[in-house]
Each structure stands twice: as structure tokens, then as C-alpha cells.
């Protein structure tokens, strides 16, 4: 679509946040229901109850909209605030909050369906796979790496490789249960079972990286 047709978005014309949220919600629904290729900008506009021009005024193309929809989903469960380490905050409590949020995110219906879509798309459109990875998993991993660097500098943990440790943490939270869920031979962990799982993950992680 020609950029000349798009309404200006500079000073004096603020974006309508309600419409933006409606577009994101519609995009998440359609991408999960119909896949990336099966979700047109026209269909997303109709689902959101806005014009196609409004969709393009908020998101320049479908790839950008897909990326922002993935970011929005991660932000719902793992707001950046969770990755802050205050001086008086016990690191175990911070890790437990992150583990709970991540566990809830990866076991949600939307996340499972999106991962299945991306597995199917992986060999067809590597560029789209990269967009998904950078918008979701990579952003979360970077936030966790930054937090672990803070914990190491503060002496709350002893970590030589924060990137590797962040990756280990999220792999522990996923565990075998998430894989079984992805392939359709398991149920999401809930309630006391989920809480015990994330508590065990944090306990194991602390045992590995607690300062002497």
C-alpha cells in the first residue's frame, strides 16, 4: 500500500489507543485462527471494526502488526516491571514472580497455538520466524539476562554467563510438560501443581547460582 494514502501520524494527530488495542486483539485472534498467510489486513480491519487505512496508520504492514501482536501477548504475562531488581527485593521472590508469569504465558491457549503456527511456518518463511523470535522469546531472554547481570553485580547471585543462565532458567520452567502440551498429549499445569513446579525451578536455580 502506498505510503501517500496513509494519514499523517505526527504531532497534532495522536493515535487512538482504543483502536490500536482493538487491532492488536483482532490480529492475535486471526493469526491464531487462520495462520499468518490466511490473515489479511482487510480481515483484521473488519474483525477490529475499523477501516483498513486505520490499521495501516497504526501498523505499517502485516509483518509489523504480527511482531507487535507477539510483543503485546508477552507483555500481558511478563511486563518489564517484573524484571526489575530492587535493592531490598529478595532475589528468590523476583525469580518466582518471573517463573509464574512465564509459566502462565507458555501454557496459555494463545501461546500454544501460536507456537504450533510458527513450527509450521519455520521451513516456509524463515524471515517470519525471525520476526516472531525477536518480538517474543528473544526480548524475554534479554530482559532476564539483564536482571541476572544486576543480581550478579549486587552479589545476590554468582553468574559467570548471564545469557546461558537465563536460557537455563526458562528451559527449566518449560520442562517436559510444556513439550507434551505442544504436541497434544498433555494438559496445562494449574493451581498447586503449577506453583510447586515453579517453586522447584527457582529452588534448583538458586542452588546452582547462590553465592558461597
The pLDDT value given to residue 15: 64
Radius of gyration of the chain (CA): 20
pLDDT above 90 covers what percent of the chain? 58
Stretch 117-144: mean pLDDT: 86
User: 130 pLDDT band (50/70/90 cuts)?
Assistant: confident
Distance CA 96, CA 140 (A): 15
Q: What is the pLDDT of residues 156-181, one digit of tens each?
A: 999 999 999 999 999 999 999 999 99
User: 111 pLDDT band (50/70/90 cuts)?
Assistant: confident
199 or 32, greater pLDDT: 199
Distance CA 202, CA 97 (A): 10
- Start-to-end CA distance of the chain, whole Å, equals 60
CA geometry: angle at 26 spanning 21 and 31, to 5°? 130
Please choose, from the candidates 158, 151, 155, the residue with its C-alpha nearest in 3D space to the C-alpha of residue 98. 151
**In this structure, what C-alpha cell is assigned to residue 172?**
527449566
Residue whose entry in the numeric block shows the C-alpha cell 504531532: 11
pTM, entire model: 0.79
Q: Within 10 A of 99 (CB to CB), how many other CB atoms are there?
A: 23
Distance CA 10, CA 89 (A): 41
Highest mean pLDDT pick, 61-70, 125-134, 189-198: 189-198
Q: What is the pLDDT of residues 87-107, one digit of tens each?
A: 888 999 999 999 999 999 899
Q: Mean pLDDT score of the chain, rounded to an integer?
A: 88
User: 23 pLDDT band (50/70/90 cuts)?
Assistant: very high
Q: What are the structural domains, with CATH classification, of the chain?
A: 3-60 (1.10.10.60), 70-209 (1.10.357.10)
Please choose, from the candidates 69, 78, 58, the residue with its C-alpha nearest in 3D space to the C-alpha of residue 32. 69
User: 7 pLDDT band (50/70/90 cuts)?
Assistant: very low
Give the lowest-confidence range in 21-25, 72-76, 99-103, 108-112.
Answer: 72-76
Interhelix angle 109-121/17-34, nearest 10 degrees? 60
Distance CA 66, CA 131 (A): 8
Amino acid at each position: 500500500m502506498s505510503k501517500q494514502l496513509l494519514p499523517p501520524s505526527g504531532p497534532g494527530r495522536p493515535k487512538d489507543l482504543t483502536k490500536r488495542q482493538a487491532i492488536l486483539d483482532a490480529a492475535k485472534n486471526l493469526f491464531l485462527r487462520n495462520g499468518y498467510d490466511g490473515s489479511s489486513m482487510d480481515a483484521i480491519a473488519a474483525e477490529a471494526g475499523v477501516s483498513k487505512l486505520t490499521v495501516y496508520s497504526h501498523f505499517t504492514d502485516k509483518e509489523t502488526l504480527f511482531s507487535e501482536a507477539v510483543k503485546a501477548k508477552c507483555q500481558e504475562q511478563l511486563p518489564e516491571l517484573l524484571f526489575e531488581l530492587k535493592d531490598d527485593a529478595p532475589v528468590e521472590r523476583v525469580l518466582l514472580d518471573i517463573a509464574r508469569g512465564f509459566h502462565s504465558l507458555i501454557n496459555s491457549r494463545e501461546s500454544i497455538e501460536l507456537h504450533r503456527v510458527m513450527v509450521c511456518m519455520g521451513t516456509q518463511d524463515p524471515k517470519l520466524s525471525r520476526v516472531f523470535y525477536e518480538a517474543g522469546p528473544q526480548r524475554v531472554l534479554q530482559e532476564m539476562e539483564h536482571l541476572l547481570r544486576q543480581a550478579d553485580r549486587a552479589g545476590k547471585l554468582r553468574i559467570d554467563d548471564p545469557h546461558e543462565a537465563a536460557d537455563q532458567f526458562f528451559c527449566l520452567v518449560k520442562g517436559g510438560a510444556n513439550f507434551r502440551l505442544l504436541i497434544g498429549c498433555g494438559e496445562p499445569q494449574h493451581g498447586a501443581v503449577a506453583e510447586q513446579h515453579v517453586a522447584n525451578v527457582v529452588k534448583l536455580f538458586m542452588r546452582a547460582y547462590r553465592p558461597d
